[in-house]
Amino acid sequence: MSNIKKEQTEFNKLHKRLRRNVGSAIADFNMIEQGDKVMVCLSGGKDSYTLLDILMHLQKTAPVHFNIVAVNLDQKQPGFPEHVLPEYLQQINVPFHIIENDTYSIVKRVIPEGQTTCSLCSRLRRGSLYSYAKEQGITKIALGHHRDDILETFFLNIFYAGKLKAMPPKLLSDDGQNIVIRPLAYCKEKDIETYAKLKQFPIIPCNLCGSQENLQRQMMKKMLENWDKAFPGRLETIFSSLQSVAPSQLADTQLFDFIGLNLDQRANVGAELALVGADNSGLDILQR
């Protein structure tokens, strides 16, 4: 087999895997429904390009009809290549809109020099996107977060916030007026990175604002990368745990009625353990 044919075969496998993972996530969480108007938030990075590309492919074969509009927020960062995204989106013939909002100046005015700007920048960006979605009758807002983002957030919350939560594949926004979806929730970052390189997306660097790298998230990323190399399959197992939660085996009194627990409820606890596939060791602990 020639190298060109081999590369094409590998690309086809990768594309099929990404489509399958995105399709599964959409089905599992009922992300996209008949008649939806899906706003794909396009930043110019590998993740959002891949998200748009895969959704456009699925749009052609999906059992439900939905519309796509690509939206980018031009935050007026110095040096931002304003022509890149419009040229690309016109080339692939997808409806798009560029929101122009000088959030960069606000961030620079409010945040002292040398301090991390990411938190305020993301809030302002989110507010602009939510407002546009409401004005345009958008029913779903699609973001490019993938499986590794979800796992990094999970451990960030454990290590630094003391909370057992991650980044849900589907959520109702804080303002209660937008549904946010993450169709790449089942996709590995390394698959997305390879796909983006093979597709030669016109990537826009994410360091234009000069903001500091999120060191805590980078630590989580490095930790997960090391685990993935040393213990293949570990990340898949951890992600599966996010989909198999047993409240009676944790310690949150808001999720499970430990105070009211009595012998009559023992059967209910056993049923919960069986539902999430608990092993016999867990049942043995309950019986001691």
> How far apart are alpha carbons 79 and 58 in whole angstroms?
34
| Domain 3-238 indexed as CATH 3.40.50.620 | yes
Instruction: Render pLDDT for 171-181 as a digit per residue (tens, 0 to 9).
Output: 998 878 899 99
Domain extent listing, the chain: 3-238, 245-287
Per-residue model confidence as pLDDT tens digits over 80-136:
898 999 999 999 999 999 998 887 778 777 777 766 666 667 777 888 899 999 999
Torsions phi, psi for 37 (to 5 deg): -110, 105
> What digits encode the pLDDT tens for the residues 199-209?
999 999 865 45
pTM of this structure: 0.86
Residue 241 CB coordination number (10 Å): 12
Q: Which residues on adjacent β-strands are paired with residue 71?
A: 41, 97
Per-residue 3-state assignment (H helix, E strand, C coil) for 18-35: HHHHHHHHHHHCCCCCCC
Please give the pLDDT value at position 285: 33
- Count Cβ atoms below 10 Å from residue 16 Cβ, excluding itself: 10
